Amino acid sequence: MYVSRGTLIDTDKCVELSGGNRFNLVIMAAARAKEIHKHHPESQRFEHTHTVVSALLDFQNGVIGPEYIKKLQKSKNR
C-alpha cells in the first residue's frame, strides 16, 4: 500500500528553517535529495526512493538548516 508523505510537509516551516528564502530551499532540497540517493543508490526503502520528500522533511525537522547552503558553496568552489 502506498502512503504519501507529502502531506506531512509544511512548506512555510521548511522555508523559515532554511533561511527564509524559497529559492535557496529549492537548491538545498535538490542537493540533499541527490546526497540521500547517492548514499543509498540501490535501496528500495521508501525514504530512499522518494528523496525529495525526505530532504524537505530533513529541513522541517531541523536535521538540516540554513548552514547547508554554505556547505554547498564550499563544495562547489573546490
Query: What is the CA 73 to chain-centroid distance, rounded?
Result: 16
Would the pLDDT of 1 be above 60?
no
Question: 0.85 cut: is pTM over it?
Answer: no
Q: What is the pLDDT of residue 37?
A: 83
CA distances from 27 to 5, 39, 61, 65 (A): 20, 19, 18, 13
pLDDT digits (tens, 9 = 90+) for 4-43: 567 788 889 989 988 889 999 999 999 999 888 888 766 6
